[in-house]
Amino acid sequence: MNSSALELAFLYEVSSLAWPGSEADLFDEIIEKAVRLFGVQRAALVLHDDTGQSTCYTWGFGQNKINVLKERPWQNRDPRGVYLKELGSPPLGNLYLERNEDFLENERRLLDVFSGRLANILQLHIWERKTRKLRERFRLVFENMPMVGALSFDREGRILHYNREVQKILGQDALLKYGDWLTRIRPAADFQKLLTRTWETGQVVEPGEWQIQTPEGELRWALLTLVPVRQDEKVEEVFCMIIDITGRKQMEEELRRLSVFDSLTGLYNRNYFEQKIRQLDEEGVRPVSVIVCDVDGLKPVNDCLGHRQGDELLQKVAALIREVFSGEEAFRVGGDEFAVILPARNRESAQKACSVLVETQEKFNKGHTVVPLSISAGVGVTENPRRSVYEAYKQADDEMYRDKLQRCAAERYDIGRSLLAALFRNYPHIERHARRVKELARLLGKAAGLSTGEMDNLLLLAEVHDIGKVSLPEHILRKNKPLTKEEEEEMKRHCEVGYRIARCSPGLTPVAELILQHHEWWDGRGYPQGLKGEEIHLLSRILAIANAYEAMTAGRPGKKVMPGEEAMTELKQGAGTRFDPHLVEIFLKLLQDPCAAFSGTIEP
């Protein structure tokens, strides 16, 4: 083949050389062209990968697999019949060609062109391979980003790409409907303006907080970032990253609420109270009145009935204050202390409001409440802008304590008597039971030879022995069926609760231990302490017999009324186990004595 024909054929072959799909196929194409154009008899292609490893493809070397760069087959050949070329820079590989005839200068020039074309093809393939890897990595990251919804869209709002997470936030329907997803972002008009600016300027929009409506209609908070994608200096699409921050916003709101509101009562807390005073001082609002209220008897309620009842008492007081001072700002400023700030209200107006609070409290106590409310209150006012509202608060606080002292002197607040009155008012059957037990105990106490002082304590014990039931749930006290095992265990608590109430009540202290023991058994199988015999106080042993007989003959929830003779038999059987046998003997004689006249003495 002459030189011109060779060059023409060569140019055609070079222009048709392209990546065929694999390195092995590329080598086959190289061999085919090199043999046809240059009569090559042996060939090798060494390719380097990204890790520094090499792959060697050979042809014409028989069955031997060689690495031409290591074994250098040209060393034993006439160099004029060998062509060795490094492909690309940095090197992508090497091309080795060999024939028996010398390669002419013109052929070597054409082979250099061929090698350059081959290097370009390899470089392009490497770039395409890297691009595919990057695209695949981007796709995997894009589609599987946890907690980050992502989508891209064109100028018309059509969704081009989206991941799984964004489907959860916007819903599949919104993504399929043209432009519908934009209406899910609130406020929609502001977001549309932001989009327009992004398309016009091509600038990234820093993360901002927006609300997104879910397919179920719920509004959730999201952090949105807009990233425009340019092509030829023109924005072709915009990526939108969406992170659901509803949980964070709820936590922030809860922290804000806790910093301002009291968690138990829902009123403003002491921290906000101080802020409000500073605000009123800075604004110079005058006059400002302050009402301070204190809950009477909270400590004995906590000590006797437990902190749950104490918390309920505080909540009731807070509700009362909220009702009376609707529209005003009320605060819990201490454990049992509340305050109300009345801007632009003078002392007369504040005192009228305070009187309304007292009247509302009294009306409230006429209803069915176990623990009656008792509130001491005081009023303070500041009219001079140079004097802080805090001084009005101190005035009100001092006045409240004077009111509390006057109440204590006049009423001597006794939680025991208050709770007993509430118990009898809410559960008349318990009061009737106490009256009948009191009469039975009086007769048995007299027959047992009690002194006047002992008799007084016995009658008091009979009246208040069930005071601990004030802590029991209403469904237990009103139940007309036998109690469950769990309810029986709950019922047993009334002895200990009654003991604590009596200890906190000056008028009931003498019978506190007696209340605790009135369900102990003679043989030690009673509760709550498991006392036996004469370890149990005499008055408690007397009450136990009177209490049991009254319950049997008057009836109790889940049990029918028992005739007197049957009840006497029960007492006989319980003598020495449940009851003091000597006292049972005395009591049975009383029952059999016509002169005792129980039926006429005991009020039904």
**pLDDT tens, 196-239?**
899 999 999 989 999 998 878 889 999 999 999 988 889 999 99
271 inside domain: yes
The order of strands in the sheet holding 54-59 is: 54-59, 42-48, 93-98, 82-87
- Domain end position, chosen among 74, 100, 133: 133
Q: Does 254 fall in a domain?
A: no
Q: Is residue 139 part of a domain?
A: no
b (16+ CB within 10 A) / e for 229-239: eeeeeebebbb
* Residues 454 and 567 reside in one and the same domain: yes
Least confident of 100-109, 136-145, 190-199, 263-272: 136-145
Looking at the fold, whether 345 and 423 belong to one and the same domain comes out as no
**Rounded distance, CA 162 to CA 376, Å?**
64
Whether the CB-CB separation of 570 and 591 falls below 8 Å is answered with no
Residue 461 to residue 232: CA distance in whole angstroms: 98
571 with 430, same domain? yes
**Same domain flag for 269 and 383:** yes
Q: What pLDDT score does 370 carry?
A: 67
Residues 404 and 437 in one domain: no
**Triad 271, 272, 278: Cα angle to 5°:** 100
pLDDT band for 373, please (50, 70, 90 cuts). confident
Is 257 domain-assigned?
no
Q: Which of 249, 279, 308 is the last residue of a domain?
A: 249
What CATH number is given to the structural domain containing 11?
Answer: 3.30.450.40
Q: How many structural domains are present in the chain?
A: 4
pLDDT in tens, 485-538: 999 999 999 999 999 999 888 889 999 999 999 999 999 999 999 999 999 999
Question: How far apart are alpha carbons 17 and 116 in whole angstroms?
Answer: 11
Q: Do 16 and 86 share a structural domain?
A: yes
The predicted pLDDT at position 434 comes to 96
Assign residue 173 the CATH number of its domain.
3.30.450.20
Same-domain check for residues 274 and 218: no
Tokens of 21: 């799909």
Q: Are residues 381 and 423 in the same domain?
A: no
Residue 548 sits in which domain range?
A: 417-601
Q: Give the mean pLDDT of 156-171.
A: 84
Reported pTM = 0.60
Within a domain: residue 428?
yes
CB pairs under 8 A, 24+ apart, for 182-185?
182/157, 184/212, 184/213, 184/214, 185/210, 185/211, 185/212, 185/224
pLDDT digits (tens, 9 = 90+) for 279-325: 999 999 999 999 999 998 888 888 877 888 899 999 999 999 999 99
CA angle at residue 159 from 156 to 162, to 5 degrees? 155
Confidence (pLDDT) at 302 = 86
| Distance of alpha carbon 17 from alpha carbon 118, whole angstroms | 8
Q: What is the pLDDT of residues 416-447, one digit of tens each?
A: 888 898 889 888 999 999 999 999 999 999 99
Report whether 407 contacts 374 (CB < 8 A): yes
- At 603 the pLDDT is 42
Select from 107, 133, 159 the last residue of a domain.
Answer: 133
The residues pairing with 257 across neighbouring beta strands, listed in sequence order, are: none
Q: Beta-carbon neighbour count of residue 485 at 10 Å?
A: 7
* Sequence-separated (6 or more) residues with CB below 8 Å from residue 468: 493, 494, 495, 496, 497, 498, 499, 500, 501, 515
Comparing 67-71, 196-200, 384-388, the range with the smallest average pLDDT is 67-71
Same-domain status, 303 and 334: yes
| Any domain includes 63 | yes
Q: How far is CA 403 from CA 295, 332, 374, in A?
A: 12, 19, 12
Residue 116 sits in the same domain as residue 162: no
CATH number for the domain harbouring residue 443: 1.10.3210.10
Measured between alpha carbons, how far is 76 from 82 in angstroms, rounded to an integer? 10
Segments in 145-269 forming alpha helices (H): 164-170, 172-176, 188-201, 246-260
**Apex CA 592: angle with CA 533 and CA 457, to 5°?**
45
Percent of the chain with pLDDT over 70: 93
Shared-domain flag, residues 434 and 569: yes
Does residue 479 sit in the same domain as residue 551?
A: yes
DSSP per-residue string spanning 527-551: SSS---GGGS-HHHHHHHHHHHHHH
DSSP 33: H
Residue 577 lies in a domain: yes
The token pair at 353 is: 């409001």
Task: Find the helix or strand (DSSP H, E) in which 586 lies.
Answer: helix 581-592
Instruction: Identify whether 382 is part of a domain.
Output: yes
